[in-house]
Structure 1
């Protein structure tokens, strides 16, 4: 009688089929635990058990808790940075509309998923060297906001100091949805994203008269990217 040896990494416990690969299951489990129980209070053992993996198997995908947190944080920025870089290059569209589209898509990303991962930005642990890539991606994303702002008609009239200040305001306005989501987790992203994007254009100096047109144009830009 022959026996067949099971291959692959064994699970610690039977879990409902999620359709996720083990690495993504670890990230999903960590996202839940880090945002509900706290990063410091969560152990790698707890993450592995929540993902349905043995702790040793989890280390096949991540070197430790910092590596998991870094992957989660980078995942909140990298997609927006890719969209930002594409929008910066689409010079056939008005810079104001591209800025609206970037803000809208950024808010939607920050509000995506069941857990408010942006709240992890404030962890003191995130200042460690391990998170250099995350901080670099955020700086590049913020720079894209600044580049689009500079290309707008109101932005072209601003001096360097005012541009830097308004870029800070625009970026901070977008990321303020992290705090909004913390106090109002049921807030509809489909309403929050355009409202935030509208507010961003007002900060940029766009008039109310032009806002409706630029909102429509920004929406078309998003539609072509999603298509």
Structure 2
């Protein structure tokens, strides 16, 4: 996407993170969507927060939905890319990849870290009524694929045959970090704690030290 050309001057010097006007628009929108609400935020207010004309914003994004779509995609893209890489690893000897649950734990830690460390807590927008429409099918499909990969990696990890799916349970625990963050209740260890909780509830508490070590090794190798 080309940057704003002649006739689209800034009102002020750039003051937001981002190498391009497009990135500054995304940052401003992320702040406004998460602090004022999506419905209450206008494209004019986003442009004002960046210091550009509203017409310049439309040079990069045609609608407010386009901005929201890019922001939502950003919340799952990193975790999904990492989960795909982990799921694609060839099956190897147990001692090579660590005990059962190591791959699931690695994905949970990595994904949870992405959610907790993002500049804005955009996961709170997942359940907007607007996001349920087919307009956001790309994001919804990617999030569903990520959830499916959690399920694949957690296959067979439930403590009992009648117990919950270990992967889906861990996925839900990781996404709970979004709401803990909204309450100011997350810290540097929160992603690890969510991953640990998922594996403990799958009955793998005794193996947790070895799972953690193998998980860390996978993240160092693939991230």
Partner of 2:10: 11
- Output aligned runs, 1:143-182, within 5 Å: 143-150=148-155, 154=157, 158=161, 162=163, 165-182=165-182
The separation in 1 between residues aligned to 2:206 and 2:159, in whole angstroms, is 19
Partner of 2:70: 71
The separation in 1 between residues aligned to 2:143 and 2:16, in whole angstroms, is 34
The separation in 1 between residues aligned to 2:74 and 2:16, in whole angstroms, is 23
Partner of 1:83: 82
What TM-score, normalized by structure 2, do the two folds share?
0.87
Distance 1:169 1:17, change over 3 A: closer
Contact 1:13/1:49 (<8 A) preserved: no
- 175-184 or 12-21: which moved more? 12-21
Equivalent residue pairs, number = 213
Q: Give structure 2 stretches of 5+ with no counterpart.
A: none
Contact 1:35/1:119 (<8 A) preserved: yes
Partner of 2:101: 96
The separation in 2 between residues aligned to 1:201 and 1:106, in whole angstroms, is 15
Distance 1:57 1:191, change over 3 A: same
- Whether 2:196 is the aligned partner of 1:198: answer yes
Which one of 107, 114, 118 corresponds to residue 113 of structure 1?
118
> 1:140: how far off?
0.3
Contact 1:101/1:222 (<8 A) preserved: yes
Secondary structure of the equivalent of 2:59?
Answer: coil
Q: Give structure 1 stretches of 5+ with no counterpart.
A: 1-5
Contact 1:101/1:218 (<8 A) preserved: yes
Contact 2:159/2:201 (<8 A) preserved: no
> 1:79: how far off?
1.3
> 1:124: how far off?
1.0
Contact 2:47/2:57 (<8 A) preserved: yes
Higher percent of residues as helix: 1
